[in-house]
Chain A
Amino acid sequence: MVGKLALEQRKDLAVATTLTVNGNTHTLDVEPWTSLLDLLRERLQLTGSKKGCDHGQCGACTVLVNDVRVNSCLCLAVMHDGDAVTTIEGLGSEGNLSPIQQAFVDHDGYQCGYCTPGQICSAVGMLKEGHAKTEADVREQMSGNVCRCGAYPGIVAAVRHIMATSQTEGAR
């Protein structure tokens, strides 16, 4: 009972918002203060994207919006009306991993796995951007994704494997 008034949400401020997530189109009434991350996790039950810091510092929430990697925790969902979002669930599935997912498995690109969906979405975005040529470039351009287990050498190896085998198209 305590704090009920303070927590009460102004439902009348909700805005009809249409998003295409992993190819499926959803139209939802969304309160303006809902982050894209919360919408994905709480409304669409796509819990692959993780809420690590919720402040754009850890990268665990990284998704692709119109093929560009962003921190979904800092996106207000209502600002993405009409956009196409790709999450880890849209890249591959159990038994049908995308090449980059398989590379993370093959190269020990994770330990606990919490940061992994964000790492993989970020890697896909980085490969699309096409500005990384060297290992140093990969480390610099992946610095927005923090791994507390310290799996960085494996993450870099997985990304470098995809770069070397020129499977950027297949990375989707």
Chain B
Amino acid sequence: MNNFEYVRAEGLDGAARFVAGHHGAKFIGGGTNLVDLMKYNVEKPTALVDLNRLAMRSVTELPYGGLRLGALVTNSEVAYHPVVSAKYPLLSRAILAGASAQLRNKATTGGNLLQRTRCVYFYDTAVPCNKREPGTGCPAKEGINRSMAILGTSVSCIATHPSDMCVALAALGATVQVAGTQGSRSIPFAEFHRLPGDQPQVDTTLAVDEIVTSVDLPAAGFAGHSAYIKVRDRQSYAFALVSVAAGFELADGIITKAGIALGGVAHKPWRNAELERSLLIGKPANRDTYHAFQLALLAGAQGYGENDFKLKIAPVTVVRAMEQAAHEGEQA
């Protein structure tokens, strides 16, 4: 790990100004991913600005019925929060499907959004990687790509976003609140992460000096009908090969609201709200509907060899998650 300066942030403004004014400075929250990347010399910050003393550690109910998760609330605290468990069970399930208890106890809400890919080439400084060193190439396309993306890839990068929590946040339609030297703004979850394109080194639409202050959940949380299914190599403590977060609101067997997002298949949680409107809303909650939807959602998916199996697993996992969500709460 390289030498760096340590700064304890006393306020949002000062923290943002420090990072804006110091080349190579980074914010740190829980640090479970950043410190690991620093040990591999993938991240080499000149300074770390510790955000942990800032007042972003509470969960508060919003006036319109939503829930604000402060950026420093740990993944464990969110997963086991009574309001989250009751109103947003999809989020609890997704978080508890990820990492280990120790990591969830340390990792923060904001940091979970900002974790980097676990692509083996990204982690190995002895090999090229366009995400780590733009312009050097991507050996993953013809290499070890079992865990890599099948949707939204580019010539430059086929990495996946590793989060489980973010898949649920995408399905729920959360909003990310951020603050920086240019003021504060709200980012719809679907616009927070980006596809690699020709700039795979840029994971999100966040500016360098912007800090995630909270993640806001909408009033509707699919409390009655949701499911999170994660396909992985081990039963616990493994990243998703394919995961699906599915949430419905139903009226007499007809879908009135839907949120379906996939993890493990793309550079960001994969959701298509347009397809949900055209193929799910107003349709009966049955297997024909789910099948037609997955065909459209996964159209254009492409394998790279080792990850070809995802082309078979993703469709059935989408259908299974939608069935499980629709039937949640029914007597067997």
Residue ID in chain A nearest B238 by CB atoms: A143
Tell me, yes or no, whether B236 is within 8 Å of chain A by CB.
Answer: yes
Tell me, yes or no, whether A74 is within 8 Å of chain B by CB.
Answer: yes
B236: chain A residues at CB < 8 Å are 139-140, 143
Would you call B3 and A144 a contact (CB within 8 A)? no
User: Distance in Å from the Cβ of B238 to the closest Cβ of chain A?
Assistant: 9
Residue ID in chain A nearest B97 by CB atoms: A140
Would you call B1 and A33 a contact (CB within 8 A)? yes
Tell me, yes or no, whether B309 is within 8 Å of chain A by CB.
Answer: no
User: Distance in Å from the Cβ of B311 to the closest Cβ of chain A?
Assistant: 29
User: Distance in Å from the Cβ of B33 to the closest Cβ of chain A?
Assistant: 9
Would you call B100 and A143 a contact (CB within 8 A)? yes
Q: With A and B bound together, what is the CA distance between A68 and B102 in angstroms?
A: 8
Would you call B35 and A74 a contact (CB within 8 A)? yes
Q: Per-residue CB proximity of B1-26 to A under 8 Å, as 1/0?
A: 11111101000000000000000000
Q: Per-residue CB proximity of A97-137 to B under 8 Å, as 1/0?
A: 00000000000000000000000001001100101000000
B102: chain A residues at CB < 8 Å are 56, 59, 62, 69-71, 122, 125, 144
**Interface residue from B3, B50, B100 paired with A79 (Cβ < 8 Å):** B50
Residue ID in chain A nearest B106 by CB atoms: A70
**Interface residue from B5, B35, B76, B101 paired with A76 (Cβ < 8 Å):** B35
Tell me, yes or no, whether A27 is within 8 Å of chain B by CB.
Answer: no
Residue ID in chain A nearest B2 by CB atoms: A33
Give the A-B contact count at a CB cut-off of 8 A. Answer: 87
Task: Categorize the interface residue count of chain A.
Answer: 35 or more
Q: With A and B bound together, what is the CA distance between A120 and B35 in angstroms?
A: 24
Q: With A and B bound together, what is the CA distance between A28 and B301 in angstroms?
A: 54
Would you call A131 and B39 a contact (CB within 8 A)? no
Q: Is the interface of B mostly helix, strand, loop or mixed?
A: mixed
User: Distance in Å from the Cβ of A52 to the closest Cβ of chain B?
Assistant: 13
Would you call A144 and B6 a contact (CB within 8 A)? no
Tell me, yes or no, whether B139 is within 8 Å of chain A by CB.
Answer: no
Most buried by B among A55, A69, A79, A139: A79
Tell me, yes or no, whether B307 is within 8 Å of chain A by CB.
Answer: no
Q: With A and B bound together, what is the CA distance between A56 and B3 in angstroms?
A: 21
Given known A-B contacts A32-B48, A35-B35, A56-B36, A68 and B105 have beta carbons under 8 A apart: yes
Tell me, yes or no, whether A21 is within 8 Å of chain B by CB.
Answer: no
Of residues 1 through 56 on chain A, the ones whose CB sits less than 8 Å from some CB of chain B are: 9-10, 13, 15, 31-33, 35, 54-56
Residue ID in chain A nearest B5 by CB atoms: A13
User: Distance in Å from the Cβ of B80 to the closest Cβ of chain A?
Assistant: 7
Would you call B35 and A70 a contact (CB within 8 A)? no
**Interface residue from B39, B52, B100 paired with A144 (Cβ < 8 Å):** B100
Most buried by B among A54, A68, A74, A129: A74
**Interface residue from A31, A32, A54, A126 paired with B101 (Cβ < 8 Å):** A126
Q: With A and B bound together, what is the CA distance between A79 and B35 in angstroms?
A: 12
Q: With A and B bound together, what is the CA distance between A31 and B5 in angstroms?
A: 9
B35: chain A residues at CB < 8 Å are 35, 74-76
Would you call A122 and B3 a contact (CB within 8 A)? no
Tell me, yes or no, whether A166 is within 8 Å of chain B by CB.
Answer: no
Q: With A and B bound together, what is the CA distance between A59 and B76 in angstroms?
A: 17
Tell me, yes or no, whether A171 is within 8 Å of chain B by CB.
Answer: no
Tell me, yes or no, whether A156 is within 8 Å of chain B by CB.
Answer: no
Given known A-B contacts A13-B4, A32-B4, A79 and B52 have beta carbons under 8 A apart: yes
Would you call A79 and B4 a contact (CB within 8 A)? no
Q: List 23 A-B contacts (CB under 8 A).
A: A10-B3, A13-B5, A13-B6, A31-B3, A32-B4, A32-B48, A33-B4, A33-B38, A56-B102, A56-B103, A71-B32, A74-B31, A74-B32, A74-B103, A76-B48, A78-B6, A78-B50, A81-B8, A122-B102, A125-B102, A125-B105, A129-B80, A129-B101
Name B residues whose Cβ lies closer than 8 Å to a Cβ of A. 1-6, 8, 28, 31-32, 35-36, 38-39, 48, 50, 52, 76, 80, 99-103, 105-106, 236-237
